[in-house]
Amino acid sequence: MTIRRRIMGAFLVACLVAGPAAHAADFSAGLSFGYRAGLSFRGSGGFSNFAQGFPLSVDLSIAYASVDPGEPFPARRIFIADATNGTPEKSGTTWAFALDFLYNLNLRGPRAIYVFAGPRYAMFDGHFHYVGANEEFDVTSNPWGVGLGMKGLFAISGKVDLTLSAGVDDYFDTSIHGHDTTYNPDDQNVNAHENFTYRDAKAAVKTPRFQAVLLIGLTYTF
């Protein structure tokens, strides 16, 4: 089983375990879409009022985003070889996992306005294909980070809310791997090409870093 599948499985189990325990209090589930360095879709589960006197709610989420992976020819040179033939095609995806702690500002009007913050973990995969050159490879990176923002719930019915969320995520530098080459933040690299550095790899490949997150969706409270 890959590391990616283990992390996603553990995250889903955490959501399922949290759900029944929080059902006696307040449990919610939401779906949303918007922008996170590209078109993004997000599923979440939240619970609150699960401990007497505890002022925060908790939200677990998984998001998928289609992203620009970076520059094909610099990436090829940095991770494989100095070649310029072929017509480049590229695609990129990011799976983003978040654990947020939310504080209700108790403002008048909306159902709720929260400020939130918490840890982040992302799994980035950038795919580069050079048509006619018989060359194809992936660049991957799995950084940790932190995020913060605001979320508003606006009642549609007794249990359904329109949800608007805006925030920022900031990811820490971590290894970037492609083909048989790995660039590390301390430049203790593996099979580096032409004396390229971690900074060169990060400039060529758009791994997760500081990014805005804007989402709109629906939340259902059980």
**pLDDT score of 126 more than 50:** yes
Q: Domain 3-221 is classified in which CATH homologous superfamily? A: outer membrane protein from Thermus thermophilus HB27. (2.40.160.70)
Contact 194, 80 (CB under 8 A): no
Residues 145-164, mean pLDDT to the nearest whole number = 97
pLDDT at 22: 40
Answer whether 70's CB lies under 8 Å from 91's CB: no
- The closest of 68, 25, 74, 66 to 46, measured between CA atoms, is 25
pLDDT tens track for 35-70: 999 999 999 999 988 787 889 999 999 999 999 999
Which pLDDT belongs to residue 120? 98
Domain ranges of the chain: 3-221
Provide the pLDDT for residue 134: 84
